[in-house]
Amino acid sequence: MTSALDRIKAVVGERGVIADPGEMTPYMLDERREWPAGKALAVVRPGSVEEVSQVVAICNETRTAIVPQGGNTGLVGGSTPHTKGDEIVLSLKRMNRVRDLDPLNYTITCDAGVILADVQKAAAEADRLFPLSLGGEGTAVIGGNVSTNAGGTGVLRYGNARELVLGIEVVLPDGRIWDGLSRLRKDNTGYDLKHLFIGAEGTLGIVTGVVLKLFPKPRDIQTAFLAVRDPSAALELLALARAATDDRVTAFEWIPRLGLDYVLKNIPDTRHPLPDNPYDHYVLIELTSAHDDGVLRERLEAVLAEGMEKGLVLDGAIAASRAQGRAFWKLRETIPEAQKPEGSSIRHDVSVPVSKVPEFLNKADAVVKKAVPGIRVCSFGHLGDGNVHYNLTQPIGADSAAYAARHEEINHLVYEVALALRGSISAEHGIGRQKRELLPEVKSPVALAMMRQIKKTLDPNNIMNPGKLL
């Protein structure tokens, strides 16, 4: 009898299959190296939707599990296989064509394997903006972004991946192709099925194509780095800025003093925008407008003046050029990297209602400091979305491994505070393998039952990314 792999090879050809263990390695390792290297029967790289469909049908028939993989930048162990070696990794990276760009409809239609930065670039070349933006955008692909419902730094103004998808094409676990590539802004014809696959982390089918919303390209970008009194003051300032600029705030990112200290110490070519006085709390605010008429800058200055008068803003610098704006962004974006030399970190990707962030920070800081005296709280991130990357560096001089071994206990303390404020244990990174055990603790039995029922209906043989999410 011909093996599943031989049949798959007959579909995708020799160049569509990697079976050499050495060549497979990059597909087996997760971004943060938090999981043991996976094993797989092969990495399968189809070149078309029809090929994906035939491969999935073979897998369904032979009960061969599939791990869909895009750029493999996911942070929860969802995109790499387990260690048993009986799964295939299905990489979408060969499917990397922009299928269509419709400037008047403000849409772009892409294969799942188009790199996020290339989607942005194609939009920009057509004088449009695709606003999804995140640290891994040079490697992550749009199918992965949609499958994780990625967030990033533009959510405040434009929403997360889910809100940017108009249509989707999916290969279902039995191999059928669902062409849901709608380019419609309005379509009320029953259940909106695309949302099932957005954020499903590859457990319900394989996303092979997407229609994405575009926006007018910004002509004016104003970026400021501000010292604020405290997190509450930061939120008051955000409300002021939104109202005063017709909601043109695109990003509102939180940078604590400790995070900035790490960056200035550990990342080359960085400098403090406000070197004269140390402050405890900083925010990076960015406003964008499609008009380059100087109005945005005037409004920003007025907001800062009002913020200072009210005691919300203590000091600040507005970027004088795009280069300086990018230098401000570097201070925010390199915090995770800058944390590494400081020892072991216990990380959290939590969200609470925006107005509750100060309460979350106060309460969480208190419990973790009580549990681990000397712990260094380096929480930073998307304050405007109520999403903080609540990262905790080990105490100076502590035993790194002993500290890391306490992660479950610390996770629990942090999650308890977030959940009491009706927050989430995973704001943007997903569940994957990392938080799978926790899901039953945070989802209501009714919600969990619905999720399991949907999974069973669409994937009765449990071939799609088993052991992830559910």
Catalog residues that contact ligand FAD under the rule CB under 6 A. Answer: 31, 67-75, 78-79, 92, 112, 134-136, 140-141, 143-145, 147-148, 150-152, 201-202, 206-207, 428-429, 432, 465, 468
Q: Please identify, using beta-carbon distances, which residue of 220 and 342 lies nearer to ligand FAD.
A: 342
**Nearest CA among 67, 73, 63 for reference residue 116:** 73
Q: How far apart are CB 337 and ligand FAD at their closest, in Å?
A: 8
The answer to whether residues 347 and 376 touch, using CB atoms and an 8 Å cutoff, is: no
Q: Which two tokens stand for residue 209?
A: 């194509």
DSSP E strands in 214-270: the ranges are 215-216, 220-228, 249-256
Nearest Cα neighbor of 85 from 41, 129, 119 is 41
Half-sphere exposure of 17 (CA within 13 A, CB side): 18
Question: Nearer to ligand FAD by C-beta: 77 or 307?
Answer: 77
For ligand FAD, the closer of residues 180 and 316 by Cβ is: 180
Distances from the Cα of 233 to the Cαs of 183, 238, 309, in angstroms? 41, 9, 12
| Strand stretches in 352-426, DSSP E | 376-382, 387-393
CA angle in degrees (0–180, nearest 5) for 198-247-230: 90
Closest distance to ligand FAD from the beta carbon of 113 (Å)? 8
207 vs 241, beta carbon nearer ligand FAD: 207
Taking the complex as a whole, how short is the minimal distance between the CB of residue 460 and ligand FAD, in angstroms?
A: 18
Residue 426, beta-bridge partner list: 349
Residue 409 CB, nearest approach to ligand FAD (Å): 25
Pick 70 or 384: Cβ nearer ligand FAD: 70
Nearer to ligand FAD, 77 or 325 (CB): 77
Tell the smallest beta-carbon distance from residue 151 to ligand FAD (Å). 4
Which C-beta is closer to ligand FAD: that of 58 or that of 312?
58
- Other Cβ atoms less than 10 A from the Cβ of 1: the count is 5
CB atoms within 10 A of CB 21: 11
Cβ proximity to ligand FAD: between 92 and 338 the closer is: 92
Q: Is 39 exposed, middle or buried (0-12, 13-18, 19+ CB in 10 A)?
A: middle
Minimum distance, C-beta of residue 417 to ligand FAD, in the bound complex (Å) = 22
Nearer to ligand FAD, 67 or 211 (CB): 67
Nearest to 210 by CA among 170, 160, 151: 170
CB of 330 to ligand FAD, least distance (A): 13
Where are the extended beta strands (E) located within 373-443? Answer: 376-382, 387-393
Compute the CA torsion angle 129, 135, 140, 143 (nearest 10 deg): -50
Strands 281-289 and 249-256: antiparallel
Give me the residue whose beta carbon is nearest to ligand FAD.
144
Least separation in angstroms between CB 301 and ligand FAD:
29
Q: What's the min distance (Å) between Cβ of 295 and ligand FAD?
A: 29
Q: Is 458 helix (H, G, I), strand (E, B) or coil?
A: helix
Residue 465: closest CA among 129, 171, 14, 78: 78
